[in-house]
Amino acid sequence: MFYTYVIQNDKGTWYTGSTGDLRKRLREHNQGRSTWTKGQGVWKIMYYEACLVEQDARSRELYLKSGMGKRYLKSRLKRFLSLTG
């Protein structure tokens, strides 16, 4: 399986990515081994999707990073976002 994921740190910053091993990738983010998230606190998974084909996961990542994709996420996670402030 390949995953597209959105993580959030304790400051409320979001990061969107894709990977073949979601647990390992989250560990890497939290251990500071990712250039884009290094030194930005503790990250937690707030959303993910599973795909059978790597290219599908990467395409979905690009979509979720776009303006329409961000609107989709905010709509999809409306209840979660209201709980977290």
**Contact assessment for residue 70 and residue 16, using Cβ atoms and an 8 Å cutoff:** no
Residue 43 pLDDT grade (very low, low, confident, very high; cuts 50, 70, 90): very high
**pLDDT at site 27:** 97
**pLDDT > 90? residue 83:** no
> Model's pTM, two decimal places?
0.90
pLDDT number for residue 82: 76
State the Cα–Cα distance between residues 50 and 5, nearest whole angstrom: 9
Mean pLDDT of all residues belonging to the chain: 94
Angle (CA) 49-33-43 rounded to 5° is 50
pLDDT of 33 above 70: yes
State yes or no: pLDDT of 85 exceeds 70.
no
